Amino acid sequence: MEVKVKVFSVNKTLPYDASLLRINFSLPQINEIALNISQRSTVSGINEIAYALKALMLTDLTTLAGDDTAANVRRLCVRACLPFEPQFFEKSFERTLLPDIHCAAVCVYPARVADAYKTLQQYGKLDEISIAAVATGFPTGQYGLQTRLQEISYAILAGATEIDIVINRQLALIGDWEGVYNEVVLMRNACGERAHLKTILAIGELGSMENVYKASMVCMLAGADFIKTSTGKEAVNATLPVGLVMIYAIQEFKRRTGQIVGLKPAGGVRTVRDAIAWITLVKETLGMHWLQPELFRFGASGLLDDIEKGGAQWRRAAGKGLSNTQYTTYSKIGNIRIKNTQLLINKKRFFLTDLLNER
């Protein structure tokens, strides 16, 4: 199978700067801010549909199991391409929306990248849905450096366009941040311009919020395109307080260097309500322009299941019809303005286009 070579605009490696690692924050205050944001993230009814579809389009649909097969990965890719049955769209949405509503990426082990590439190629989605591969000895990272670097090259040659690497937690826990930086630089170089680099911090194994902040900074200095919370295999994965600390690092890094880095919470984002809380957090800190696949992703395997469970509720909402007042409320989504949104409603159907697509 011939793999199409792609070239991407990627973040550049910056010199190691220990001054960026200086941090002083109050953990109780971080928790309080995260709790307040969580309490403001409650939506219902038609508004929840908007957020659910937005979350879907920001999702890296993931399978990272020991029993993954070509058939499993094919099913995953088909779900990413066509998250809803066409019959559902005939009843609830304008059918022409079907090609535009899909996951942002699929995420698999390097050995399964070729299977994902083949399926996405068959469905004509290679330019719309990215192929992410976990690499560098995922999830532990306890492999020799050369082996980890070779795994990146193997995944890219098989068709991966994004590489989710795990950082060396051993170096992080002994405070060797320059050592972490040097390894990630080599991983950035291994990706080159052929793949975006997402760095998994494994926050549940870093020991403190200060270490989460420092790990975020050294990965961004090394050229990461995204910083990612977790492997999904740790006891503690994506939480809003951790996300807030990583966002503070992204903001400070942008202020000091002008370089923009994306965020990917992974592990623990299982429901639409979880996703809404994260979307609200990003909207209120980084801004609406961050809510696009180039800058924000969910790493999830169960989120799509929860979105699908809401399908029956959506059909009931569509059947009831909605008033002009509800149209206005929906178009604003609280403080979120929807750009170029079309919502046509009658007694049986409602149509959504360019959902929350504000750049």
Residues with a catalytic annotation lie at 164, 228, 264
**Neighbour-count burial of 70, counting CB atoms closer than 10 A to its CB (0-12 exposed, 13-18 middle, 19+ buried):** middle
C-alpha to C-alpha distances, 204 to 33, 198, 295, nearest whole angstrom: 20, 17, 23
Q: How many CB atoms lie within 10 A of CB 17?
A: 13
Give yes or no for a contact between 199 and 228, defined as CB atoms under 8 angstroms apart.
yes
Residue type, 135: A
- 175's tokens: 């405070």
Q: How many CB atoms lie within 10 A of CB 345?
A: 19
What residues does 107 pair with on adjacent strands?
62, 132
> Distance between CA 299 and CA 171 in Å, rounded?
25
**Neighbour-count burial of 351, counting CB atoms closer than 10 A to its CB (0-12 exposed, 13-18 middle, 19+ buried):** middle
